Chain A
Amino acid sequence: MVHKTIIDELTRSKITKMLGDGRRADGRGMEEQRPVRIETGAIPKASGSARVFLGNTEVVAGVKIQPDRPFPDVGDRGIFICTAEILPLAHPDIETGPPNPAVIELARVVDRGIRESGMIDLSQLVLEKNKSVMGVFADNSVIDVDGNLFDACSYASTAALLTARIPKWEMRGDAPARVEGEEYDAPVTTIPASVTMAKIGDSIVVDPNQDEWSVMDARVTITTNSDGNVCALQKGGSSGFTYDELVRCSELSVSVGSRVREQIRAKGAAVRGDG
């Protein structure tokens, strides 16, 4: 939207007024996340996949795992890359063509949360040091937009990675070759959980929906690991947080994140050898 219309201002004043009374338009509590639904194995041809509903936001993530060349400076580790695309069928305002800064930020924040948590032990994905490693790609396709794509994509990628089966490859002579029929669980060390909070007026709300997303002053996405430590963070939006607000957000990210983590963990337990 190029300029703020009167209708946008009306929406904003309605939402801030309700929040001032401690209420949200969809009836949720201020610290309440929308219901999360996770279906894994949605795309059988991918090594791992998940379809995640966060309220009315819907994301499909697929994991592809194939031999690749290592990055030159880290020849003793596999490659992990996470991407995100908002499909044009997901919302009337999405345009086709190269990704805009907001989509690039989305992909990078989701990537960073998973990467920095050390979820995948990349040192176990080396075929031959400095020469050939396994590359893990987690690609997110957003198919319905209702705010907070950060958390929806993060849960989808995490669930897809946790339930992925890595095809076994080995070096035969100079080149990697597939060991037919052999697969193993992804080497997972922790389960990251991202929680996004929005600041609207003087209120902080967990998991903003699209109406809240479109009027918020600032947001912060905090990813925590299974130990309850903060491992990645991103602030966005054209306003600022106080120190006290950021402390409260980090506490919320631990408590809200732990519930989602259990949901994701249960999906993994159903398919993984380590339970």
Chain B
Amino acid sequence: MAGQISMPGDRIAYIEEYVPGRNTFDDGDAVRAAVVGSPVIDREQRTASIRDPKGLTVPDAGDTIVGTVAAVMSTMFAVAIKFINGRPITSGVECICSTRSMRRNAVVALPNDVVVLKIASHLNGAIHAKMDEPELGILFTKCRKCGLRVITSRDGVKCVECGWFDERKLSSAFGDARAVELAGG
């Protein structure tokens, strides 16, 4: 079916032969397209899906997001998503990231920090993200005591003014503004 275009509602396969994959649904009889795109029929995995050229304003599992920390709770924090895979979005959708597995004395996130996370799953109406890879974690933050500029120091950040040190889970790209490009280029 290469080069073909499917419209939402178009039948792309029968459920006897294929399992609905990404961007499709099953109406009890056929696998149908849920978005505009090119159908991809995987004969090995027996899945029928649609390659969507555009992408939504809500991230999928596996996507990398950049956002600002909106709220910090005892065992997790919430992040307002600003970029999905480097693409700026304005939907204001939030994801949550658990901090249970973090070291107890580490300050994981502060409100307004810019963080880079990977989406783990959609579960119970919430989007769950994780930060347990080297490139994931804090991109920008400020001193917890005086609100001024910090620099990296051992496993955390140190304030250039008051010298306060906090242990933080920093991204390997800490301080790199390339993730936050201007919308106009």
Chain A residues at the B interface, C-beta cutoff of 8 Å: 3, 5-7, 10-11, 14-15, 25-26, 92-93, 146, 209-211
Q: Which residues of B contact A146 (CB under 8 A)?
A: 184
Residue of A nearest to B89 (CB): A92
Out of A5, A26, A92, name the residue touching B185 (CB < 8 Å): A26
Also in contact, A6 and B184, with CB within 8 A (given A14-B177, A92-B90): no
Q: Let me know if A25 and B182 touch, CB within 8 A.
A: yes
Also in contact, A7 and B68, with CB within 8 A (given A14-B182, A25-B182, A25-B185): yes
Q: Let me know if B68 and A211 touch, CB within 8 A.
A: no
Also in contact, A6 and B114, with CB within 8 A (given A14-B177, A92-B90): yes
Q: Which residues of A contact B177 (CB under 8 A)?
A: 10, 14
Q: Which residues of B contact A210 (CB under 8 A)?
A: 183-184
B146 smallest CB distance to A (angstroms):
16
A211 smallest CB distance to B (angstroms):
5
> Which of B113, B114, B183 has the most C-beta atoms of chain A within 10 angstroms of its own C-beta?
B183
16 interchain pairs, CB-CB under 8 A: A5-B68, A5-B112, A5-B114, A6-B68, A6-B112, A6-B140, A10-B140, A11-B182, A14-B177, A25-B185, A26-B184, A92-B90, A93-B90, A146-B184, A211-B182, A211-B183
What sequence of 0s and 1s flags, for each residue 31-60 of chain B, a beta carbon within 8 Å of any chain A beta carbon? Answer: 000000000000000000000000000000
Residue of A nearest to B57 (CB): A92
Within 8 A of A (CB), among B104-147: 112-114, 140, 142
Residue of A nearest to B83 (CB): A7
- Distance in angstroms between the alpha carbons of A256 and B164 in the assembled complex: 52
Also in contact, A7 and B82, with CB within 8 A (given A14-B177, A92-B90): yes
Residue of B nearest to A15 (CB): B182
B71 close to A (CB within 8 Å): no
Q: Which residues of B contact A93 (CB under 8 A)?
A: 90
A129 smallest CB distance to B (angstroms):
53
B61 close to A (CB within 8 Å): no
Q: Which residues of A contact B113 (CB under 8 A)?
A: 6
Q: Which residues of B contact A5 (CB under 8 A)?
A: 68, 112, 114
B40 smallest CB distance to A (angstroms):
31
A208 smallest CB distance to B (angstroms):
11
Q: Let me know if B180 and A10 touch, CB within 8 A.
A: yes
- Distance in angstroms between the alpha carbons of A85 and B140 in the assembled complex: 37
Residue of A nearest to B142 (CB): A6
- Distance in angstroms between the alpha carbons of A22 and B114 in the assembled complex: 29
- Distance in angstroms between the alpha carbons of A93 and B82 in the assembled complex: 14
A95 smallest CB distance to B (angstroms):
13
What sequence of 0s and 1s flags, for each residue 78-99 of chain B, a beta carbon within 8 Å of any chain A beta carbon? Answer: 0000100000001100000000
Q: Which residues of B contact A14 (CB under 8 A)?
A: 177, 182
Residue of B nearest to A7 (CB): B180
A214 smallest CB distance to B (angstroms):
10
Q: Which residues of A contact B68 (CB under 8 A)?
A: 5-7
What sequence of 0s and 1s flags, for each residue 166-185 of chain B, a beta carbon within 8 Å of any chain A beta carbon? Answer: 00000000000100101111
